[in-house]
Copies of this chain bind each other. A is one copy, B any other.
Amino acid sequence: MNMTLRKGLVVTLSTIVLTWTTLSSAQALNEQELKTLQQLKQVSLSSDLSYELIESLTTEVGNRMMGTPGDEKSVVWAVEKMKSLGFDKVWTEEVTKTQWLRGDAEANIVAPYPQKMVVIALGGSVGTGEQGLQAEVAHFDTLADLKKAKDGSLKGKIAFVSYRMERHIDGHGYGKAVGTRVNGAAIAAQKGASALIMRSVGTDDNRIAHTGIMRYKKEIKKVPAAAISNPDADLLVNQLKRGKPVSVFLKLTSEIQDDVIVKSSNVIGEFTGSKLPEEIVSIGAHLDSWDVGTGALDDGLGIGMVMAAAHHIGQLPKRPKRTLRVILFAAEEVGLLGAKKYVELHKDNMKNHVIGAEWDFGLGPIYKMKTGVGAESLNAMREFAQLIAPLGVALETTNDARAQSDMGALSDAGMPSVNFSPDGSRYFDYHHTENDTLDKINPKDLKQNTAIYTMFAYFAAQADTDFRK
């Protein structure tokens, strides 16, 4: 996931209630449907399908940043998998962008105590040229401190922001840390710096740096931007503490190629509704990843979950009432391009997107659900909350949820939405790093996650409720 996900993820614990004491007398599902839902729960808790899908994607495709061969392979992989999983319809919708090449990255402390650092270019950064650049470091504890510097005051220097992301169950430390990654280079350039080096946005202590998208601003010079690992940021801070000037050599051979257009695709599959086929229940994830690790968590996990959930429902003797659509979005990491394209292409039909949810966060068990649905359908959502409560999920009382990540663009376009929150304490240890690999997935937690998405998708597709009202 990229930075836009974090909106609205701050938990106010007092707003969570574990049980609901009042229920409408009208049930959203009848007895037979409730029985089917419990069967789906058991199937998804015992099935290894979501894990097998992630294993397949990470083993046979690997990482898949838009513009790389991995991304092209992932589109083929997703289409083939959906077909083999029995989806009624499978198609792709093209997404384009200009190319960015990562190139190589190198960063060394040159003085006073020469040492190599582990560094990665931020996504979208310009390069330094093959010759690299060497400059004294100007150290700032936070982005706010960098902002306070006078314009032009950092001429001939590399700005270094050492703010460390905090670890929280809901991942809200990300929102406080990611501003440097997104906007730091533009602010550093405004102050006159020749480059930005930042402590990685991550909660780990591994000598592995975290990448992620960054943005330049019009009319401000584009300067190179890179992240160093947490231990390297500690080292740089410790050298700075000694009070002598600290010089760093930085080389990034990254390249923005505005004249090269690369293509990818949203991959969409659905099980057609038996009674209300025009009404669409959407579950989604993003197909792309950063070009590091194998994209197992971000967002292989979501891909495995939503494809498995739909397949389990597709195995029922009869299709649910509404159409169940799985959307695997292209180009999330590089700017939610697939989501934007989807909304553009489907804007005239957005009113038929009756409810949706995405999975693009984390590797832990889900502990909370938040709704953003029509007031009249709140009772139905409470009924659903009771059905997943035995899996350890609480319902937040507020009803202003935006779906995660890509699907948030559909929420913004009017789609009723649900947002499931997992224990995200460890997610940012691995996020956007070489360490995002299959071994990080806990199969037990994945089964809980898949069961909840399966139950949600079935409930939403079958319930006698209009979530838009």
Which A residues have a C-beta under 8 Å from some C-beta of B? 55, 58-62, 69, 113-115, 118, 205-208, 230-231, 234-235, 238-239, 242, 293-294, 433-435, 437-440
Contact = CB atoms under 8 A, between A and B. Distances in A.
B59 A235 contact: yes
* Copies of this subunit: 2
B113 A437 contact: no
A239 B438 CA distance: 13
Contact of A206 (B60, B69, B435): B435
Contacts of A207: 208, 293, 433-435, 437
A437 B239 CA distance: 14
A113 B207 CA distance: 27
Given A59-B242, A205-B439, A208-B208, 18 more contacts: A55-B238, A58-B235, A59-B113, A59-B239, A60-B113, A61-B113, A62-B115, A69-B114, A118-B434, A205-B437, A205-B440, A206-B206, A206-B208, A207-B434, A207-B437, A231-B439, A234-B437, A235-B437
A230 B434 CA distance: 12
A434 B207 CA distance: 6
Contact of A113 (B62, B115, B206, B238): B62
20 contacts: A58-B235, A59-B239, A59-B242, A60-B113, A62-B113, A62-B115, A69-B114, A205-B437, A205-B439, A205-B440, A206-B208, A207-B293, A207-B434, A207-B435, A230-B439, A231-B437, A231-B439, A234-B438, A234-B439, A235-B438
A234 B230 CA distance: 26
Contacts of A113: 59-62
Contacts of A115: 62, 294
A324 B119 CA distance: 43
Contacts of A294: 115, 235
A183 B416 CA distance: 62
A255 to B, nearest CB: 19
